[in-house]
Amino acid sequence: MEIHQLLAAAAKPAIFQKGTAQMWTDDHISQQMLLAHLDPGTDAASRNLQTIDRSAAWIHRDICQENTSLKILDLGCGPGLYTNRLAELGYEVTGIDFSARSIRHAKEQAAETGLSVRYLNEDYLSCLLPDSYDLILMIYCDFGVFDEEERRAILGKVHAALAPNGKFLFDMFQPVRYRNHSDSRSWYVENGGFWRKDPYLCLESSSWDEKAGIHLDSYTILEEGRSVETYHLWDKTYIPDELTSLLQQNGFGKAEFYGDVTGSPYRNESDTLCAVASRE
Ligand SMILES: C[S@@+](CC[C@H](N)C(=O)[O-])C[C@H]1O[C@@H](n2cnc3c(N)ncnc32)[C@H](O)[C@@H]1O
């Protein structure tokens, strides 16, 4: 490997500059991710099991008013932890995810319990949203991962795919999450682990742009015989005011704000913000 490649990979990127690789669809990393999704006690790739149960119950009771004739779409459904629960409650559910491994797991779980769920292994940024829905979900702070143009495109697509009176429920981190953040850089060697099955060196950095409200975790991975890859995990944070104007600019009507996807009351000092935006 040439030194200039390494310098380029480890340099501070421009805001929302893409990494060189995608972690969710990588064969090895997606296996690690699936383990994290399915770990009942952690808030890693999915929230812990208790929180997921409380979320599904809140969505059923308060958001859908127990009207199980509603049609629900889950964007980035992962291994189907929300979709399968909602299908079990009686909703007609579609889940989209570009991780083939997660979709496979979601389908297997649905089949085991005799649930009928439509699972699509697609990139929701580029695929057509296949129907019209009463409720569209995007859970676990994925909205802030995308750059500004992509966030607007998502809002446009979601708006177009919502039925009249439909709602978009999604969560984000608030800037307060990073209030004690200090930028850092570190490195470590693993004899096989999260990023690769064989030995690798990881150069890790974390930075917070307070003015823009954008956080970045960046991982540069070096492994024998493979080109240097960099994974950028961006996070655009929001507070209700900024989000309200973005939603209005993209055709949405009123939004309700909560502290999280279990329906906790909104607090400006909570790490997360959950918005339920009405189409009209
Ligand atoms: C943080 S996980 C959350 C998964 C699920 N919502 C949950 O909370 O259990 C993000 C999910 O979004 C998926 N994802 C990210 N970008 C995507 C895209 N552009 N198209 C489809 N799926 C995507 C990933 O594969 C991953 O399963």
| Residue 95: closest CA among 112, 114, 113, 115 | 115
Mutate to test the pocket of ligand 1, among 121, 142, 234, 261 (most ligand atoms within 8 A of CB): 142
Gap between the Cα atoms of 6 and 202, Å rounded: 12
Using an 8 Å Cβ cutoff, are 147 and 43 in contact? no
The DSSP bridge pattern shows strands 184-191 and 162-173 to be unpaired
Contact 150 CB / ligand 1 (< 6 Å):
no
Gap between the Cα atoms of 177 and 44, Å rounded: 16
Burial per residue of 215-225, b for 16 or more beta-carbon CB atoms within 10 angstroms, e otherwise: bbebbbbbbee
Rounded to two decimals, what is the model's pTM? Answer: 0.97
Contact 97 CB / ligand 1 (< 6 Å):
yes
Contact 146 CB / ligand 1 (< 6 Å):
no
Cα angle 116, 118, 119 (rounded to 5 degrees) comes to 125
Burial class (CB in 10 A: 0-12, 13-18, 19+), 146: middle
Q: Give the number of the atom of ligand 1 that is nearest the alpha carbon of residue 37.
A: 9
Q: 24 C-alpha vs ligand 1 centroid, how far in Å?
A: 8
Residue range 220-236: mean pLDDT, rounded: 96
State residue 1's pLDDT score.
Answer: 63
Burial class (CB in 10 A: 0-12, 13-18, 19+), 190: middle
Residue range 101-117: mean pLDDT, rounded: 97
pLDDT in tens, 41-92: 999 999 999 999 999 999 999 999 999 999 999 999 999 999 999 999 999 9
Tell me which residue has its CA closest to atom 18 in ligand 1.
Answer: 123
Gap between the Cα atoms of 174 and 176, Å rounded: 5
Contact 125 CB / ligand 1 (< 6 Å):
yes
Tell me which residue has its CA closest to atom 14 in ligand 1.
Answer: 76
Q: 240 C-alpha vs ligand 1 centroid, how far in Å?
A: 23
Using an 8 Å Cβ cutoff, are 102 and 120 in contact? no
Q: 141 C-alpha vs ligand 1 centroid, how far in Å?
A: 9
Contact 233 CB / ligand 1 (< 6 Å):
no
Q: 78 C-alpha vs ligand 1 centroid, how far in Å?
A: 5
pLDDT in tens, 156-181: 999 999 999 999 999 999 999 999 99
Quick count: other Cβ atoms within 10 Å of Cβ 120?
Answer: 17
Gap between the Cα atoms of 102 and 104, Å rounded: 5
Contact 46 CB / ligand 1 (< 6 Å):
yes
Q: Which string of DSSP letters, residue by residue, matches 38-72? A: H-TT--SSS--HHHHHHHHHHIIIIISTT-TT-EE
Mutate to test the pocket of ligand 1, among 23, 48, 140 (most ligand atoms within 8 A of CB): 140
Q: What percent of the chain has pLDDT over 70?
A: 100
Residue range 172-200: mean pLDDT, rounded: 97
